[in-house]
Structure 1
Amino acid sequence: MKTNEIYGAEIVDSALLIKDCLIISDIHLGYEYALNREGFMIPRFQYKKIIARLKEIIGTSNASKIIVNGDLKHEFGKINKQEWDEVMDFIKFLKEHFDEIILIKGNHDNFTGFIAEKCDLEVYENYSVENYIIMHGDKIPPDFEEMKENTVIIGHEHPSIGLRSGERVEKVKCFLNGKVNDKNFIVMPSFNFITEGSDCLQQKTISPFLKDVSLGDFEVFAVENFEVMNFGKIKNLLNIKI
């Protein structure tokens, strides 16, 4: 197995590539607007960075299909102007670069179906690619036990790993992979650049798939600027004293 592969899926920065299918998760367009409303003066830099990074990824892959695995936009109960402008422009960008676009519903996507309809797209609860089933991970589908795919790909968790040196902690986005019952699981990092995510060494999981699972035997693949670093199992990292 290559050092940048998990269960046959290739890690490309914060995306996964399965043959000609690119998968990204948890973009949260409009997040700066929501933070501004709460009093955090965050400049609106994220969208340009998302587009720039995605262009780099497209340049290194032969993907003709893209799957957005939930939380395309940030606000739960409405669409703010920043979200509307950015989502519409983002879908236009995707249509210019991919033959097929798959949107999977996340827990922030109450209005994404309306946006998708305007753009002649559909929103799916989950989507199968070969022997992989892709879903956001915020809920367990009622027919999950009947699904035949061996590998489940979820987002929702926004995993990162905290690299510690004395009192200083530097977070790096990461993929997690391991077994849950008889299924392989891949947990994807977020494809946004405002926060790195939740430290998998310190914070509790939020997906119902992982709620009662010990993550000690899960592996950590940290990613930064297209570099992939296999940090080994979580249980071994927890024993490291710095």
Structure 2
Amino acid sequence: MRVFGDVYAVDGFPALYLDDIDVLVIADLHLGYELISAEHGVFVPRVQFKKSVAMVKRILEKKSASRLLILGDVKHEFSGTGYHEYKEVSDFFEEMLRFFKEVIVVRGNHDTFITRITRKYGIKVYDEFVERDYFFTHGHKSKDLNDVKKGSTVFLGHEHPSIALFTDVGVKEKMKCFLYGTFRGKRVVVLPAFSYFAEGSDVNLVPREALLSPLLRDLDVDRMKVIGVLENDRLLRFPSVGMLRRFYE
């Protein structure tokens, strides 16, 4: 499904494909989440690594790409990188380098010490990455869009966007989603989390000042349009965040 120009959301998956530069973009994997949760007394099945690799394989069956760009938060632990997380992230990179000629990482706020792992594989890590008219940033830091070249498309993660939908009996359902819109002469696209466990931040319920990303808090998010992800199935176009917000007021 086309988002802007050569930017396509991959049907049924929280991933983008940029046709003109042949790169697949995903964000917010949070590998090692289960292990960190266990250290805090919350035990969840260790499934995320296998599910993440399997999802990439399924995406490539739909849309081949020679390069992979991970838009931050490859790993989960803030304070360092323990043995198990180190191994899981290493194993993930090894798998990805079997599928792609190049892997690029844009550093997220969880990606402390990630260069200890990436340098083993010759993977480059950037705080911000620019190619042609595409600007990639994780989204956890403030960024003045006026400093980005006019006509650029800006990609960010960090927010884990989702929308809240309610059944006629009031049962709430969450759906991961892409957000996209045009601000100050730049196109902006927010990716949903690739992580199996990251349900997301309900952008049609959360007030703008409570959003995670300072970059998004600086924009009129209600103007952004929504593409919902029915995982392993299809994508659904929705109206703007503001219209969805008013629908449930």
Change (3 A) 1:57 1:236: same
Alpha-carbon contact 2:81-2:112 (below 8 Å) kept:
no
Question: Which residue does the alignment assign to 1:235?
Answer: 242
| Local SS of the residue matching 2:199 | coil
Larger mean CA deviation between 128-137 and 87-96 belongs to 128-137
Aligned-pair CA distance for 1:180? 2.8
Calculate the TM-score normalised by the size of structure 1.
0.92
Question: Which residue does the alignment assign to 1:7?
Answer: 4
Change (3 A) 1:158 1:146: closer
1:11 maps to amino acid? A
Aligned-pair CA distance for 1:137? 0.9
Q: 1:191 aligns with which of 194, 207, 210?
A: 194
Alpha-carbon contact 1:73-1:83 (below 8 Å) kept:
yes
Aligned-pair CA distance for 1:241? 4.3
1:183 maps to amino acid? K
Unmatched segments (≥5 aa) in structure 1: none
For residues 127 and 46 of structure 1, the distance between their equivalents in structure 2, rounded to whole angstroms, comes to: 27
Question: Which residue does the alignment assign to 2:41?
Answer: 39
Larger mean CA deviation between 223-232 and 138-147 belongs to 138-147
Alpha-carbon contact 1:131-1:151 (below 8 Å) kept:
yes
Question: Which residue does the alignment assign to 1:172?
Answer: 175
Change (3 A) 1:71 1:107: same
- Percent identical pairs in the alignment equals 36
For residues 80 and 149 of structure 1, the distance between their equivalents in structure 2, rounded to whole angstroms, comes to: 42
Alpha-carbon contact 1:69-1:155 (below 8 Å) kept:
yes
Alpha-carbon contact 1:159-1:197 (below 8 Å) kept:
yes
For residues 77 and 32 of structure 1, the distance between their equivalents in structure 2, rounded to whole angstroms, comes to: 16
CA offset digits 1:188-222 (Å, max 9, x no partner): 00101113211111223121211132211110100
Alpha-carbon contact 1:132-1:149 (below 8 Å) kept:
no
| Local SS of the residue matching 2:247 | coil
**1:98 and 2:104 aligned:** no
**1:52 and 2:65 aligned:** no
Q: 1:160 aligns with which of 159, 162, 173?
A: 162
**1:213 and 2:181 aligned:** no
2:109 maps to amino acid? N
Aligned-pair CA distance for 1:143? 9.5
For residues 175 and 208 of structure 1, the distance between their equivalents in structure 2, rounded to whole angstroms, comes to: 17
Aligned-pair CA distance for 1:61? 1.3
Aligned-pair CA distance for 1:146? 4.9
**For the aligned residues, what is the CA RMSD?**
1.8
Stretches (4+) displaced over 3 A: 140-144, 146-149
Aligned-pair CA distance for 1:237? 1.1
Corresponding pairs, count? 239
Alpha-carbon contact 1:30-1:80 (below 8 Å) kept:
no
For residues 145 and 181 of structure 2, the distance between their equivalents in structure 1, rounded to whole angstroms, comes to: 21
Structural mapping, 1:53-132, within 5 Å:
53-132=55-134
CA offset digits 1:22-44 (Å, max 9, x no partner): 00100000011111122222111
2:4 maps to amino acid? Y
| Local SS of the residue matching 1:239 | helix
| Local SS of the residue matching 1:172 | strand
Unmatched segments (≥5 aa) in structure 2: none
| Local SS of the residue matching 2:57 | helix
Larger mean CA deviation between 107-116 and 209-218 belongs to 209-218
Calculate the TM-score normalised by the size of structure 2.
0.90
For residues 99 and 149 of structure 1, the distance between their equivalents in structure 2, rounded to whole angstroms, comes to: 28
